[in-house]
Amino acid sequence: MSATIQQQIERRRTFAIISHPDAGKTTLTEKFLLFGGAIQTAGAVKNNKITKTAASDFMEIERQRGISVATSVMAFHYKDLLINLLDTPGHKDFAEDTYRTLTAVDSVILVIDCVKGVEPQTERLMEVCRMRNTPVIVFINKMDLEGRDPMDLLDEVEAKLDIQVRPLSWPISQGHTFQGVYNLYEKSLRLFQADKTKVAKEVIAIDDLEDQALDDLVGNHATQLREDVELIEGVYEDWEPQPYLEGRMAPVFFGSAVNNFGVQEMLDTFVEIAPNPRPRPTSTRDVAPNEPKFSGFVFKIHANIDPKHRDRIAFLRVCSGTFKRNTFYQHTRLEKKLKFANPATFLAQEKSVVEEAWPGDVVGLYDTGNFKIGDTLTEGETFQFRGIPSFSPEIFKELVNKDPMKSKQLDKGIEQLTDEGVAQLFIREAGNRKIVGTVGELQFEVIQYRLEHEYGAACEFQAKPYSKACWIESDNEAKLGEFRRIKANDIVRDKDGLEVYLAPSQFMLTMEIQNYPEITFHFTSEFKTAQEAQG
């Protein structure tokens, strides 16, 4: 008998590994795939990193992004579970892709470099996790290097990431005297051998840290370990899964990804404690994964950069029921029925056609332009999944048409590219000006190139002196009207027609927030509750 939907849900863990570039995300991903048997040798994962490429060489970047389609989702089996690991781009300029991918996972593993500690991108990623109370496990990596003191690192994580922490493993020394980790969860010791290919096998159970065996194994580091463990057990509350599942507390593991050390402990604990697919809010109600009817949403769209094949792959996260090949589903925004002949899955890094998919799974749908980020498919019911907001871009430029004969192509091109999530488009009503917002300079080059090669439109960009977009609303029409008049040049509409104020600086924004207490300034596009959106 085939597994029930509830059994399918319980088998699944859908998560992402996130980090500031260079902390070790790619390396850790590779080790997980090795444990899952999805790859056989180290070095098999194509490095999805773009950091070492000059900004002007964006064709190379797009080529690398092409490679990353295959690694966008890496499904593998571990123990009796099916793990869906969603990849996120390492390059800062593609941060928004990462934020959106986080809307499709049920938990994350956050990698921190023990030498560098909490870095800027780590903080921003954590803010996004906090918006949805996503459960987070922290992996402090590179313990084979002379890094910061583990206690200090824990304090920094708590302070900068504003989350309670609870170490579940503890390093015995670090850098060139790194001995191994003590697993506080299972009370066992694993000794370190620097080895990039093998898996550290030797696990020594130590029920009593006073045992002389500990001194025999780690020499004079034993005393320090005893003191550290006593301190940890005194300072930190007992481990409980509930605060973790509610996104209030992060268990912490120490290790060295490149040496495959401390990774298996974390993976074993991860599969035990990480949540399986949970109910998700929509514009009308919460949808439970075990509802029999299928629903899902698109969180990422990948375009084919070959102009001869202008097809795209829309990545859909299944949220409830069973997705089936060649079955008509309702595209709730377009109010149109669509079916998919060749939906793709990504088991063991190979794209293959899938017949059925379950909550937590990601399927790749070939698309000729029907989808934009956030679109929902159902078996007929009308709702939109929520929790897929736009964030404020950081760089703003006006799109200027260089060829008046091609303005239709330009309009169509920029609309499709922004549907894919390459950038955000804001329209200033006065003069119908188009302002494009991104998180990195790279996207402007990508847009210009793609508009020319895929749509035959020529454009240039003029820098705008904005630094932040805020979605505004108010019950006080008079005040809002006054603000609109005074700020006429800086008020635009986003893709959904919502009103946005573009602030020239954080200072100005703070001033306006003080001057206009009647107006609410939102920092993401999704601020209405389900009821309000309906009303």
- Residue ranges in contact with ligand G4P by CB under 6 A: 19, 21-27, 49, 90, 141-142, 144-145, 256-259
Q: Distance between CA 369 and CA 384 in Å, rounded?
A: 18
144 or 375: whose CB is closer to ligand G4P? 144
Q: Distance between CA 263 and CA 249 in Å, rounded?
A: 20
32 or 78: whose CB is closer to ligand G4P? 32
**Shortest approach of ligand G4P to residue 126 CB, angstroms?**
15
**Shortest approach of ligand G4P to residue 532 CB, angstroms?**
39
Rounded to the nearest 5 percent, the helix, strand and coil shares of the chain are 30, 30, 40
**Shortest approach of ligand G4P to residue 259 CB, angstroms?**
6
Q: Distance between CA 364 and CA 345 in Å, rounded?
A: 6
Contact at 8 Å (CB) between 501 and 367? no
74 or 423: whose CB is closer to ligand G4P? 74
**Shortest approach of ligand G4P to residue 29 CB, angstroms?**
8
175 or 481: whose CB is closer to ligand G4P? 175
144 or 420: whose CB is closer to ligand G4P? 144
**Shortest approach of ligand G4P to residue 90 CB, angstroms?**
4
Contact at 8 Å (CB) between 106 and 13? yes
172 or 303: whose CB is closer to ligand G4P? 172
**Shortest approach of ligand G4P to residue 227 CB, angstroms?**
25
Q: Distance between CA 304 and CA 313 in Å, rounded?
A: 8
Burial 228-260 (b: 16+ CB within 10 A, else e): bbeebeeebeebeeebbbebebbbbbbbbbbbb
Query: Tokens 């899955």 identify what position?
Result: 345
Judge residue 292's burial from the number of C-beta atoms within 10 Å of its C-beta, 0-12 exposed, 13-18 middle, 19 or more buried.
Answer: exposed
67 or 486: whose CB is closer to ligand G4P? 67
**Residue in 387, 386, 384 with CA at minimum distance from that of residue 332:** 384
**Shortest approach of ligand G4P to residue 172 CB, angstroms?**
16
122 or 424: whose CB is closer to ligand G4P? 122
| H-helix or E-strand spanning residue 164 | strand 164-167
Q: Distance between CA 97 and CA 423 in Å, rounded?
A: 10
Q: Distance between CA 89 and CA 95 in Å, rounded?
A: 7
Q: Quick one: tokens of 343?
A: 């939906």
**Shortest approach of ligand G4P to residue 261 CB, angstroms?**
7
Q: For residue 525, what are the contacts with CB-CB under 8 A and spacing of at least 6?
A: 389, 390, 391, 471, 494, 496, 498
Separation of first and last alpha carbons in the chain: 45
175 or 307: whose CB is closer to ligand G4P? 175
